[in-house]
Amino acid sequence: MKDFRNYSLKAHNTFGIDVKCNRFLQYDDDFEAIEVAKILRKSKQPYIIIGEGSNLLLTKDFDGIVVRSGIKGYDFEEDYFCERMTCGSGEVWDDMVATSINAGYYGMENLSLIPGDVGASAVQNIGAYGVEASDLILCVWMIEIPTGKTWMLGNEECEYGYRQSRFKKDWKNRFLITRVTYGLSRTFHPHLDYGNIRSELERKGISEPTAQQLRDIIIEIRNAKLPDPKVEGNAGSFFMNPVVTRKRYEKLATQYPQMPHYKVDSRHEKIPAGWMIEQCGWKGKSLGRAGVHDKQALVLVNRGGATGSEIVALCETIQKDVKDKFGIDIHPEVNII
């Protein structure tokens, strides 16, 4: 178990914000997770649970304990009902996607190159290109902090929604996730009808991609749009795409015929927040040392030396402009602390 005091969190958030916490704990197996839960129960300090920090914006020093998982490992199982992959919550998400494809277990290809770790996928319900983690999660293994008990809860009990789960609401900071089990397939069924996947495949002359070819295309698309956090601090997509009623969308479409949209169900449409931000003139612009990426307006970046508060100020300014222009509230996907 790692246990550090007065610890810098700069290496644990992809915005590169240099703030500190009173204490940093990392559990590397189930027994250490139980011990960490005991420490948290006894301590009077507040605590937060983080992953790789790729969905995190820190605005000040944290006067408490920061906890993260370091549990590694993969386990593959098959039976009459399905094929399963169980992963340690501290594994890097994209490493796991690559491992699943190499092992001949399919379903995660569209989620390639999403930053973060496995545990965070179960909390955030990460998603991209028409696929969400909740489409694949069978169950989540965890330690309950108030009791120290081990739990295994199924997908439905986690109440997944668009970038939501019970871990972000009434279960927030209640569990230490140790492993996540995903239901995959030994037969490759590609999901190609989202964004520009098909056009990129066609450009390369690929009509029936393999799983690795689809993963490679997703990686190319993401790399073309998203900045490298090691070069320019960011947390990927900063805002969630708002879901509006179909009636509301149709009214907006009369004003903005080129507005992109994605059908959620018969009554709702999803509108890309990045498109609205771009229409407000923010793409490539800055507010002090915080800015909007010049290739993807959904991404806020640290131009160099920005504080968390400066990035929050940019976020709030953008929210106001989008509200004024489109009458739509957009909300951060990033966890702001």
Dihedral in degrees, nearest 10, Cα atoms 43, 120, 55, 222? 160
Please, what's the b/e burial string for 268-296 (b: 16 or more CB within 10 A of its CB; e: otherwise)?
ebbbbbbbbbbbbebbeeebeebbbbeeb
333 has catalytic annotation: yes
Q: Which residues contact 73 (CB under 8 A, 6 or more apart)?
A: 87, 88, 91
Residue 23 CA to residue 135 CA, distance in Å, equals 35
Q: Which residues contact 163 (CB under 8 A, 6 or more apart)?
A: 124, 125, 126, 127, 240, 333
Name the 3-class secondary structure at 40: helix
199 has catalytic annotation: no
Residue 58 zone, left/alpha/beta (φ > 0; ψ -120 to 50; rest)? beta
163 has catalytic annotation: yes
Dihedral in degrees, nearest 10, Cα atoms 106, 94, 66, 167? -30
User: From the candidates 68, 163, 179, 215, which is the catalytic residue?
Assistant: 163
Q: At residue 213, what is the residue type?
A: Q
Beta strands in 58-136 (DSSP E): 62-69, 74-78, 83-88, 127-128, 131-132
User: From the candidates 91, 109, 132, 333, which is the catalytic residue?
Assistant: 333
Residue 218: HSE in the Cβ half-sphere, 13 Å Cα cutoff: 27
User: From the candidates 100, 134, 165, 237, which is the catalytic residue?
Assistant: 237
Residues designated catalytic: 163, 237, 333
